[in-house]
Amino acid sequence: MRAYQFGSAAAEREVVIERFGGVDFSTHPTKADLAHSPDACNMIAEETDFLVKRPGYKKIAQAAGAVYGLFALPGDTGAAVHAGEALYYMSAAGELTEICKGMHAAYSYGFRMNGALYLLDGKTYRKVWKEEGKWTAQAVSETAFVPTTTIAALPTGGGTSLEAVNLLTPKRINTFAGNGSATQFYLDAQEIDEGEVTVTVGGEKAAVSSVNRKTGVVTLASAPVNANGAANVVITFCKTVKGNADKINKCRFAGLYGGKNDTRVFVSGNPEEANCDWQSGLFDPTYFPDTGYTRVGSDASAIVGYVRQYESQLVIKEGGGQEATQYLRTFLMDEAGKAAYPLKQGAQGAGGLAFRSFAALGDTPLFLSRDGVMGVFGTAVTEQRSIRGQSRAVDARLTAESRLKDACAVVWRDKYYLAVNGRCYVADGRVYRADGSPEWYYWDNFPAVCFAEIGGRLWFGAADGRVLRLCERDEIDAFFDDGQAIDAWWCTPDLPLGDWGRDKMVREVTPVLMPYTRSGVKVTYETAEGEILALDRNLDLFSFETLDFSRFTFRCRPGAASMRVRRRLHRARTVRVRIRNDRAGEPFGLLALGVRYILSGRGV
């Protein structure tokens, strides 16, 4: 008899993913490597090779207007909150106390120096400090440094120029050497302001007979004694130069720099002089000399921010046309022993876009451009700096966002958080990809419009006036977004499973998960024909604290838990497996994923 020949059973194959990276929105879903997801949301790396659901956030305070700035206060556990047109002190418990009114309804920038917080909002440059146990704020111009512009002058004028005029105040000081007979003293300015002119002779207040404000001549009631060339007459007066104070008041951001130390403040962002910045006095942010300005490149491109790297400062401009986008500022002492900050033009490249996006991730300063997030690279030995893209994995989605100029960023716990339009792009500085860029993650329902690190925790403000704090993973209700569930998922690329031209049967999917006292998972298969829910199951650990007989479990071991998904998928050319947890208050962790399949005989 003729024997029948039976074909051998199709061999079972398996794809295993044991290391998980971030997202890859810029590679086609069929071309992404197994470690990176073309569509993941609200996940983050707990360690360097497995993922967990991100923690949620809690509302700590509610302000009456949009939050434009949130700032840690020196020596205090509270914070300064710029909301609407007011500035508030927020205690650690979230209580808001108004400090001042009249703030600009626009995003603000802050820096700390000499035990005080200084704020730039584009309208008024303010100082915030604690006095007699209470936080106070006022315009810096009210307490600005008064420069001594001329010293050791004769009564008829002359003398030696000492300090430049302070842009923030009209006040100036001239000193003279009395000769025993002169009563008239010629100031170094004419057309001086109305108001009191004060004079001291030998440290004692002297009577003023008259002031000719047009000529700048002050007449005393009696002649000061002859001081034999020493300056014994001190005259304080005011000379307002229109627009001087607004040069600083209208600035929007700052960069601290002084060579090896941060000894001076450089401010910029004034829309009327977009390519100009101004430097402060030594350790004195209340003094901006009228000679201490620099025009950086042409006025066709605005300065956007500052990058501090090693002993240099990079000034980043918007770019456009043929102009360079970076200028290198260094520190040196001139022949007279004065500090100088020469600029050197750098290369043309991607320009900056959002002044609140500048932050350093490790040794790499980052900022947002129209082409994505850029990193500044260089060495401490040479003055050469290069700017390279660092966000290729998310650029396809990030660069399509609207209102990118309003983006804000912060570095916290080795991660760079960039928020815009209710979404957050997170770069993990602990893990880098083969191209040298960090791993990136994507979060939604994250309403940050400004960030601050306060007391070692990450805080942020929202456009609806909420002041929120990111939860620690082990705190109560850590996995709610202000009371709402967090929808977190990770999915594979579109898997051809070894053969583009043949159908496959997926026999089993095995996600390896982290169990928690309350957790769960949904597994779906996605093909060209649609989406199939393959599993929806609890994954709890037994705990008397959260005992619920409706989801009782005997699982007690906190280690990895494998969950076999036995729902089969037939005749699929490619398949995408999505692992999800969208339950309120539940953590979720993904350790590994296995996909078992066989090739069918059906081909193209």
**Per-residue confidence (pLDDT) for residue 6, from 0 to 100:** 52
Q: Is the pLDDT of residue 570 over 90?
A: no
**Per-residue confidence (pLDDT) for residue 144, from 0 to 100:** 98
For range 514-538, the mean pLDDT: 86
Q: Is the pLDDT of residue 551 over 80?
A: no
**Per-residue confidence (pLDDT) for residue 381, from 0 to 100:** 43
The distance between the two most distant Cα atoms of the chain, rounded to a whole number of Å, is 144
- DSSP β-bridge partners for residue 127: 118, 138
* CATH number 2.40.30.10 given to 12-53+487-599: no
Token code pair at residue 576 = 């995408």
**Per-residue confidence (pLDDT) for residue 323, from 0 to 100:** 80
Q: Is the pLDDT of residue 542 over 50?
A: no
For range 114-129, the mean pLDDT: 98
d(CA 273, CA 179): 46
d(CA 95, CA 89): 8
**Per-residue confidence (pLDDT) for residue 117, from 0 to 100:** 98
Residue 264's alpha-carbon distances to 117, 380, 398, in angstroms, are 15, 21, 34
Buried/exposed 477-498: b ≥16 CB within 10 Å, e otherwise: ebbbbeeebbbbbbbbbbbebe
Token code pair at residue 277 = 């910045």
d(CA 353, CA 178): 57
**Per-residue confidence (pLDDT) for residue 552, from 0 to 100:** 46
Vertex 280, ends 277 and 285: CA angle to 5°? 120
Token code pair at residue 322 = 């043929």
Q: Is the pLDDT of residue 599 over 90?
A: no
Vertex 104, ends 365 and 256: CA angle to 5°? 30
CA torsion, ordered 349, 352, 353, 358, to nearest 10 deg: 150
d(CA 331, CA 27): 43
Neighbours of 384 (CB within 10 A): 11
Q: Is the pLDDT of residue 216 over 60?
A: yes
Residue 45 CA neighbour count, 13 Å, CB half: 25
Weakest-pLDDT range from 319-333, 407-421, 522-536: 319-333
For range 109-113, the mean pLDDT: 97
Position 510 confidence tier, pLDDT thresholds 50, 70, 90: very high
Q: Is the pLDDT of residue 553 over 70?
A: no
Q: Model confidence over 463-496: pLDDT tens digits?
A: 999 999 999 999 999 999 999 999 999 999 999 8
Q: Model confidence over 417-462: pLDDT tens digits?
A: 999 999 999 999 999 998 899 999 999 999 999 999 999 999 999 9
- Among the listed residues 177, 211, 207, the one whose alpha carbon sits nearest the alpha carbon of residue 192: 211
d(CA 244, CA 251): 12
- Span between the terminal Cα atoms of the chain, in Å: 37
Q: Model confidence over 42-62: pLDDT tens digits?
A: 999 977 678 999 999 999 999
d(CA 427, CA 366): 10
Residue with tokens 């059906």: 602
Q: Is the pLDDT of residue 347 over 80?
A: no
d(CA 229, CA 247): 38
Residue with tokens 């990809």: 433
Neighbours of 431 (CB within 10 A): 15
For range 175-199, the mean pLDDT: 96
For range 89-116, the mean pLDDT: 96
Position 537 confidence tier, pLDDT thresholds 50, 70, 90: confident
d(CA 393, CA 397): 9
Q: Model confidence over 142-180: pLDDT tens digits?
A: 999 999 999 999 999 999 999 999 999 999 999 999 999
Residue 553's alpha-carbon distances to 534, 545, 568, in angstroms, are 21, 13, 26
- DSSP H or E segment with residue 265: strand 264-268
What's the sign of the alpha-carbon dihedral 218, 220, 223, 226? negative
Position 558 confidence tier, pLDDT thresholds 50, 70, 90: low
Strand 148-153 versus strand 171-176 pairing type:
parallel
Q: Residue 584 is which amino acid?
A: A
**Per-residue confidence (pLDDT) for residue 549, from 0 to 100:** 44
Q: Is the pLDDT of residue 231 over 80?
A: yes
- Among the listed residues 491, 411, 425, the one whose alpha carbon sits nearest the alpha carbon of residue 453: 411
HEC-encoded secondary structure of 364-386: EEEEEECCEEEEEEECCCCCCEE
Burial (0-12, 13-18, 19+ Cβ within 10 Å), 13? middle
Helices (H), 198-315: 244-249
DSSP 464-511: TSEEEEEPPTTSTTTT-BTTBPP-EEEE---B-TT-SSS-EEEEEEEE
Domain range summary for the chain, segments of one domain joined by +:
12-53+487-599, 171-238
- Residue pair 258/245 in contact by the 8 Å Cβ criterion: no
Residue 458's alpha-carbon distances to 364, 410, 417, 448, in angstroms, are 21, 9, 10, 11
HEC-encoded secondary structure of 1-17: CCCCCCCCCCCEEEEEE
For range 13-39, the mean pLDDT: 92
What's the sign of the alpha-carbon dihedral 149, 151, 154, 160? negative
d(CA 263, CA 286): 13
What's the sign of the alpha-carbon dihedral 271, 258, 412, 383? positive
d(CA 172, CA 508): 82
